[in-house]
Amino acid sequence: MTPRQAATLSAVVDTIVPADEHPSGTEAGVLDYLAGQFDRDLAGLRPYYAAGLDAVEAEARERDGAAFPELPPARREALLQALEAGETRVPWPFDAAVFVDTVVGHVMEGFYGDPGNGGNRDAVSWRMIGFEAER
């Protein structure tokens, strides 16, 4: 993943799970989860993610004249919602809505999954929802 793609992914993760009284997706370790998965189960999706993140970046530049990570949170959210609805303004190598849905699913895995998989740092999301794992 290029540095630009990594920055876009980080901004996408924090748009999907923004910080509030609880940590954001990146603060909760979602990027660590994804990095581990890209070396294992999601290795075959690396090119898909790279192309999708490039397309998200192109959409941001087309719509707002700035890189996706530089957009205010409300603009990032609006852009992802438009893509999720299939509303694109630049050519995509595949269905934008499917890409967004895929990323949202993986972000949720990293945020709510077992901390042993690299995400959900310190079981932050489990504490947030009141889940206590048996020891």
**Averaged over 70-87, what is the pLDDT?**
98
pLDDT recorded at residue 128: 85
3-state secondary structure 37-78: HHCCCCHHHHHHHHHHHHHHHHHHHHHHCCCHHHCCHHHHHH
pTM equals 0.94
pLDDT at position 121: 87
Average pLDDT of every residue of the chain: 95
Distance CA 108, CA 38 (A): 15
Would you state the pLDDT for residue 135?
A: 59
Residue indicated by tokens 């070396």: 39
